[in-house]
Amino acid sequence: MSVKDRITQWVRPEVQALSAYHVADAAGLIKLDAMENPFDFPAALKAELGADLRDAAINRYPDPDAGAIRAALRELYSLPDAVDMLFGNGSDEIIQILAMAVAGPGRTILSVEPSFVMYKMIATFIGAEYVGVPLNDEFQIDAQATLDAIKRHQPALVFIAQPNNPTGNLFDDETLRQIVAASPGLVVIDEAYTAFTDADYMSWASEYDNVVIMRTFSKVGLAGLRFGMLFGPQEWIEQLNKVRLPYNINCLTQNAVLTAIRHFPEFVKQTEALREQRSWLNAQLGEVAGVTVYPSEANFILVRLDPSAKSVFNEMKKRGVLIKLLDGGHPKLAGCLRLTVGGREENEAMLKALIESLEAVRG
């Protein structure tokens, strides 16, 4: 039997049909494709981080509950006692844990589209049905269609990214409350971009018994650490914890996260600088002919172009700037690019590359 035959026979057909999550090669390019924080740590913080990592007991298994982080986060986010937490190797792992906990024949995971692609991918990994309800042309939730879909499909899980990726906007509270009320299962509010917006849904985790709040340190400036957080009612967290692998947060990550929490004001300073850069970039993009700019509450800006987005993307790459091509990913994103907000110099370089590329494509 050939390898090909074995794979055809044994790898689940839905997995065979998937393409792996694509990460673009950014070597030598200004990297503005993945919502990373462009700022480096101050030297003193680096020295402290070095010492904290040196002291990690890497011969021992890590604390399975990450107890020190729990205590630090309870204070950082002023969590009420009723709200418990669970950590993941990035929030991607938390999405997987949530999906595994509800998986089974006939189970549905629902989200809106376009949104974060991992919701659908992970639903596919675990063999759940996935339902994506289209957003309207302003990228807002179509309340009626979404409530109808919830009623019809009775989803075990509903994922809402707030603000949404890749569109950057916030959905309105009233619609979200209707979704929570209509949902028979758990509603996950994914606040990956909480650092870049004043909107904050943490209180919903104690107000409702079927809402959990997901956050991550990735977009704040620690994407390399892989640390995601889920906050919610103790009863839900207890069940989810059974599916979590016991030592999923390694001791180097635990120590680094603690260092980061101690210096959280530094990250707040950086994310505030990025919010200012977002306003600047938004205003500049508004001046460029043939570019529609969508309002953003995150550290990226969605734009729609008149000429071919794919050609502009390639021209920008030739000019040394990597951004995210969304055209081709979802019908509602035809002509769209996603621009991560960087530091001022990177943003200027990106803007220049965009303007030159638009001219090159128009000929």
Ligand X SMILES: *Cc1c(COP(=O)(O)O)cnc(C)c1O
Cβ closest to ligand X, residue 226 vs residue 317: 226
Decide whether 146 or 357 has the Cβ nearer to ligand X. 146
CB within 8 A of 80, min separation 6: which ones? 206
Strands ordered across the beta sheet of 336-340: 291-293, 300-305, 336-340, 324-325
Pick between residue 103 and residue 223 the one whose CB is nearest to ligand X.
223
Residue 203: which residues within 8 A CB-CB, separation 6 or more?
none
CA distance 307 to 216: 35
Amino acid at 123: A
**Amino acid making up residue 169:** N
Q: C-beta of 333: minimal distance to ligand X in Å?
A: 15
We find the least distance from the C-beta atom of residue 213 to ligand X, in angstroms, to be: 12
In the complex, what is the shortest distance from the CB of residue 115 to ligand X, in angstroms, rounded to a whole number?
Answer: 7
For residue 55, the minimal CB distance to ligand X (Å) is: 25
Q: Which residues bind ligand X (CB under 6 A)?
A: 90-92, 116, 161, 165, 190, 192, 216, 218, 223, 228
Nearer to ligand X, 223 or 252 (CB): 223
Residue whose CB is nearest to ligand X in the complex, by number: 90
Those residues whose C-beta lies under 8 Å from the C-beta of residue 310, and which sit 6 or more positions away, are 325, 327, 328
Q: What's the angle, vertex CA 103, arms to CA 100 and CA 109, rounded to 5?
A: 100
For ligand X, the closer CB: 10 or 21: 21
What distance in Å separates the CA atoms of residue 63 and residue 61, rounded to the nearest whole number? 7
Between 29 and 223, whose beta carbon lies closer to ligand X?
223
Q: What minimum distance in Å lies between the beta carbon of 195 and ligand X?
A: 12
- Smallest gap from residue 300 Cβ to ligand X (A): 9
DSSP strand E in the chain: where? Answer: 30-31, 83-88, 108-113, 129-134, 157-161, 186-190, 211-216, 228-233, 291-293, 300-305, 321-322, 324-325, 336-340
